[in-house]
């Protein structure tokens, strides 16, 4: 892949990946919110399981269930968001920036 700056002809081009970053961050938040629901469910399941093992197991099951639910949600959301953002970068946004003259443009295709 050899992209040239349409303005100054330089080949020192960098990608901005704006959509990917924003998408990833948004996804983590959205996923975290969704994950919260799973966390509550996880905590409930953990507590139910823990009921058979006494108070210490209830606490442990509650924390473990919440952690797993929240983390899985955030991670899934982050990956999905970054994927959507990266598609946005390629299709919609001007994702390339010339290092020499700072001209911003989209990939020629
Ligand atoms: Zn340039």
Q: pLDDT, tens digit, for every residue of 45-96?
A: 877 877 777 888 788 887 888 888 888 888 888 888 889 888 888 777 888 9
**Ligand 1 center–CA 17 separation, angstroms:** 18
Strands (E), 1-109: 13-15, 96-98, 104-105
What pLDDT, on the 0 to 100 scale, is given for residue 7? Answer: 95
Domain boundaries along the sequence of the chain: 1-16+94-109, 22-93
**Ligand 1 center–CA 15 separation, angstroms:** 13
- pLDDT > 70: percent of the chain: 97
What pLDDT, on the 0 to 100 scale, is given for residue 57? Answer: 79
**Ligand 1 center–CA 9 separation, angstroms:** 6
- Measured between alpha carbons, how far is 77 from 26 in angstroms, rounded to an integer? 8
Q: How confident is the model at residue 98 (pLDDT cuts 50, 70, 90)?
A: very high
């Amino acid at each position: 892949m050899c992209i040239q700056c349409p303005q100054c002809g330089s080949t020192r081009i960098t990608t901005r990946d704006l959509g990917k970053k924003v998408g990833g961050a948004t996804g983590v938040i959205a996923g975290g919110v969704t994950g919260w629901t799973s966390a509550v469910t996880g905590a409930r399941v953990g507590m139910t399981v823990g009921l058979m093992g006494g108070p210490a197991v209830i606490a442990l099951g509650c924390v473990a269930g919440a952690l797993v639910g929240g983390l899985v949600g955030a991670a899934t959301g982050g990956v999905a968001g970054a994927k959507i953002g990266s598609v946005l970068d390629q299709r919609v946004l001007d994702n390339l920036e010339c290092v020499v003259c700072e001209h911003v443009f989209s990939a020629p295709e």
